[in-house]
Amino acid sequence: MDELGQLQSEISGQKAGGLLGNIFLIGFMGSGKSTVSACLSEVFSIEAIEMDQLIAKREGKSIPDIFAQHGEAYFRGLETKLLDELSEKRGVVVSCGGGVPMREENVIKMKKNGLVVLLRASPQTILERVRNSHDRPLLEGHKDVSYISGLMEQRREKYEAAADITVSADGRTVREICTELVKKILEMRI
């Protein structure tokens, strides 16, 4: 059994993995929030919520269609409204859209009952991950390192200010990232 397996068996049996609060994963598009969220959900036996997926389901349309038909401001409003709901929950892991930490009020809502975890990845790693997908309207027509670096720079300060824990995703497996995170989360006793 590897380290993560051992941690998981120590945690298992406790309601909501023994967590009193929530975990909010933030980071740039393609930083791996959804896959890390799935791993944390399994280790702590808690529900995983993907904001983009839930918003798309409730609106009955894809994220690109929401942007195209209603504009970005409308989408940002939906994110903030959804965070109101999520901040009332206990014991969930939330994979946030990349733009969520850019609004101060969103950060306040995440911190209300939760720990904010930043997944950091280089522009090269991001490019590899988003290259073949078309579900991120802000990157359509801009799939290159210089555009990604520029947008990442614009967001860096807010991402870092929001984070309680930061982990690097570059060159690591999901299991490695998840192991580091579980240890850090347990240390923080949320």
Chain residues that interact with ligand S3P, rule: CB under 6 A: 29, 33, 52, 63, 97-99, 136-138
The two three-digit tokens of residue 83, written as one number: 């965070």
CB of 156 to ligand S3P, least distance (A): 13
Contacts of 106 (CB under 8 A, 6+ apart): 79, 80, 83, 100
Query: Of 29 and 110, which has the nearer Cβ to ligand S3P?
Result: 29
For residue 134, count CB atoms less than 10 angstroms from its CB and return exposed for 0-12, middle for 13-18, buried for 19 or more. exposed
d(CA 101, CA 60): 25
- Measured from the CB of residue 15, what is the shortest distance to ligand S3P in angstroms? 29
Around 114, how many Cα atoms within 13 Å sit in the side-chain half-sphere? Answer: 30
CA–CA separation, 5 vs 47, rounded Å?
A: 19
Say if residues 185 and 91 touch (Cβ distance below 8 Å). Answer: no
Q: How far is the CB of 190 from ligand S3P (least distance, A)?
A: 23
Query: Which residue number, 17 or 99, has a Cβ lying nearer to ligand S3P?
Result: 99
Q: Which is nearer to ligand S3P, 98 or 114 (CB)?
A: 98
Q: In what order do the strands lie in the sheet with 165-168?
A: 47-50, 92-95, 22-27, 114-120, 165-168
Nearest CB to ligand S3P, comparing residues 97 and 114: 97
Closest contact distance (angstroms) between CB of 102 and ligand S3P is 7
How far apart are CB 62 and ligand S3P at their closest, in Å?
A: 10
Query: Which of 115, 121 has the CB closer to ligand S3P?
Result: 121
